[in-house]
Each structure stands twice: as structure tokens, then as C-alpha cells.
Structure 1
Amino acid sequence: MHLPPLPRAAGFDDAPFAKRPGARVPLAGVVCAGTRFEGLVWGGVRRDGWTATDEVCRLLVGGKFLPQLHLVLLDGIAFGGFNLVDLPRLARTLGKPCVAVMRRMPDLPAVERALGHLSRPERRLQLLRRAGPIHQLHGFTFQVQGAEPEWVARALGRLTDKGQVPEALRLAHLIGSAVVRGESSRRA
């Protein structure tokens, strides 16, 4: 798979949300060419719900950004608590490599315990496992569907200004926080 010098990516992150069950969770999607901001989509899911995959698809399918993208980035595999993304279905529906980027290796036993407190824990665990193995390459930690891990690691490097957070995800975090709280948070 060819990697252009300036890959285009959409990065999705949830904004701050109420901790009550079923709360609405804003979802920011930022499109970047390399590290340059090019566009924004905005949506939402429910806390611990089941619509994360459908919402990302709704925000991209039929829109102007999808044909331009080389990959889709998610800040982790879930939004709004444990509204898990079906990563293989997302990649298949969008026809693009889809990558769940993590800042560090997750504590999988703790995640599994937390899932046990929610509705349909077996289904949530199945979605988590379907996302595939967690890779740690070139300073990035991620799961991917639709591309080889080495290609993804190189793409993430071209999409990152500094550190291990691609610019599209960093901006999605800052924008979501600013819209909800009136100012961006310190951690991005």
C-alpha cells in the first residue's frame, strides 16, 4: 500500500460528557493533511451505548472528506465510556484503514472487569477482541483493520507533529473540550 508524503486522516475523539447512564457524548472528527487542519465533522453518541461505529460512518459516508482520506483514526476503541467501535466493520464500510490509537498499552484485565458492569458484556468483549492485536511500533500503540501495522506506524509518524498523538486526534480532543467547556483542556 502506497503511503503519500502528506497522508490525509480523520481523527475522532469524544468530548467531555456527563457520567450518568445514557448521557449524550459529543464526538469531534478532525480532518488533517499531514499535521495541517483541513476540516471538521461533529456528531454524538450515548454513554456506554451501541452506536459508535454507525455514528463515525454517518459523519463520513456521503460527505466530502471520505474520498480524500487515507485512514481513519480513533482515540481508543470506545467513545463515551464503553460505546465500542466495531473496527473491522468500520474499515469495511468506509473502505479505509481504521486505527484505534492509544497513548499506552491498556490494562486489559481491568477493561474486562469494567465491561462486566454494563449491559451485554459478552458482546462488548467480542467487539474489543474483533479489533485485533495491539501493536507497539515506532513509538505508537494501536489496533488496526484494513492495513498492515508497519504501514500504519509510518503513516502515524507523518501525521504527528511531536509526541505519540497524531495531530487529527490532538485537535479533535482540544476542539471537543473547548466546545463543551468553553476552553480547551491541558491534556491533548
Structure 2
Amino acid sequence: MYRSFHIKNEIRILAIDDSALIGNQIMIIGAFFRGGEWLDGVMRAYITRDGMDSTDIITNMIMSSKHREQIRVIMLDGMTYAGFNPVDINYIWELTGIPVVVVMRTYPDLRKIGDALLHLPEPKKRMDIILRAGNITQVRTKPGYNPLYIQCAGIEAQHAAKIVRLTATRSNIPEPLRVAHLIATGIVLGESRGKA
């Protein structure tokens, strides 16, 4: 069952990205955006490097936020955080009632991911969470740019793609995710670096 809503230019988005992999507890930053233009707030939390707590931590971030009632979409940078800490986007959608859109720069190599997970506890459980995210859809934000790839829960792919294109205002990457990345890396490393 998909949530039905009109996609406005100033749609409220919570975009979440993680910081550099330094230490065992990795900071994640949530950036509250109106469309691809206005940053309205920032929040942070910590998840375990290569752990299994990202879904619960992200859900708690959302449920405890003063912006919760305004958020129309949760936007994530990839299916795993803090190394290989997988996010169950369907669980987040079911618990919060807010659609989730995962944005990826490249098409995920599931075989390589599976091989990497073999070096961690509960590899099958981790892979099951990743596979549950469902179909991968290609999205082109601008002519001449490489395509992005998305997965989503609680929203049809065509609507998720429209939101990704709408919010990619300054680069190929949706601005809410780009800013969340800059804040996360800047806080942890002293200066922002790398690509969102």
C-alpha cells in the first residue's frame, strides 16, 4: 500500500548520510529540507560500524524529531551505513508511515556485497535486509549526467524518481543528501570532503 500525496516543489524531506568510518560508533546526520532548496534543520545520531542497529537508530531519529509530522519522504544514501550496517527500508516505512527512497550512484553489485558480508556476523540476515528493499530503478536527473539508481518503500518508483529529479538542484545528487554528507564529513574530519 502506497501513501498518496501531491509532490510539491517544497516537499519536506529528511535526508540521512553517514560520516567517515573512524572508530566504532559512526555519526549519521539527518538534514531536513524543503525540496532541493532550503535547509530547515539538522539532527545526528550514532550507529555501530558494521553493526545491525542502523534501522532502529534511524527509526528512533524520525519518531523523536519535532519535524516528524512534516516529513513526507525519508531519503537515504545507499542501503548500508557505517560500512555494512544494513537499513531495512520496509520496516522504517511500516513503523513511521513515511515513504523511504534510497539513492545510489552506481548499480549495486550484489555478488560483491554478498562476498564482503561473509566476513561479518549474520551475513544471511544482512543480505536478506538488502534484498528486501526490492526493485532497483534507474533515474536520470539531468541530461549528460550519469544515471542514479533508487529503491523505495511506501512510494511508487515513478513518484520517487520525480522527487529525486526535483531535488537534484545543484548536482546530480539530490541536494538534501549532498548537504547531509557535507555536514557529516565536516564535523568528523574537520572539513567536508568526498562525494555524497
Tell me the TM-score normalised to structure 2 length: 0.90
Instruction: State the partner residue of 1:10.
Output: 14
Distance in 1, matches of 2:68 and 2:148, equals: 24
Distance in 1, matches of 2:27 and 2:169, equals: 25
Q: Tell me how far 1:45 sits from its aligned partner.
A: 0.3
Q: Tell me how far 1:149 sits from its aligned partner.
A: 0.2
Instruction: State the partner residue of 1:24.
Output: 25
Q: How does 1:57-136 map to 2 (within 5 A)?
A: 57-136=59-138
**How far does the alpha carbon of each residue in 1:111-150 deviate from its partner, in whole angstroms, 9 at most, with x for none?**
1111111101110111011111111133431110000000
Distance in 2, matches of 1:120 and 1:186, equals: 30
Q: Tell me how far 1:160 sits from its aligned partner.
A: 1.5
Distance in 2, matches of 1:27 and 1:13, equals: 6
Secondary structure (helix, strand or coil) at the match of 1:165 reads coil
Does residue 182 in structure 1 map to residue 186 in structure 2? Answer: no
Secondary structure (helix, strand or coil) at the match of 2:172 reads coil
**How far does the alpha carbon of each residue in 1:32-64 deviate from its partner, in whole angstroms, 9 at most, with x for none?**
101211110100100111110111111110321
Distance in 2, matches of 1:16 and 1:26, equals: 8
Instruction: State the partner residue of 2:143.
Output: none
Q: Tell me how far 1:77 sits from its aligned partner.
A: 0.7
Secondary structure (helix, strand or coil) at the match of 1:61 reads helix
Structure 1 gap segments, 5+ residues each? none
Distance in 2, matches of 1:63 and 1:40, equals: 10
Instruction: State the partner residue of 1:148.
Output: 156
Secondary structure (helix, strand or coil) at the match of 1:175 reads helix
Contact kept, 8 Å, 1:9 with 1:73, in 2: the verdict is yes
Structure 2 gap segments, 5+ residues each? 141-146
Contact kept, 8 Å, 1:12 with 1:73, in 2: the verdict is yes
Runs of 4+ in 1 over 2 A off after TM superposition: 137-140
Q: Tell me how far 1:164 sits from its aligned partner.
A: 2.6
Over the residues paired in the alignment, what is the CA RMSD in angstroms? 1.3
Contact kept, 8 Å, 1:11 with 1:29, in 2: the verdict is yes
**How far does the alpha carbon of each residue in 1:2-34 deviate from its partner, in whole angstroms, 9 at most, with x for none?**
21222111111110122x6xx111111101101
Distance in 1, matches of 2:167 and 2:67, equals: 16
Secondary structure (helix, strand or coil) at the match of 2:168 reads coil
Does residue 54 in structure 1 map to residue 62 in structure 2? Answer: no
Q: Tell me how far 1:168 sits from its aligned partner.
A: 1.1
Letter matched to residue 17 of structure 2: D
**How far does the alpha carbon of each residue in 1:48-96 deviate from its partner, in whole angstroms, 9 at most, with x for none?**
1111011111111032111111100111011101110111001111111
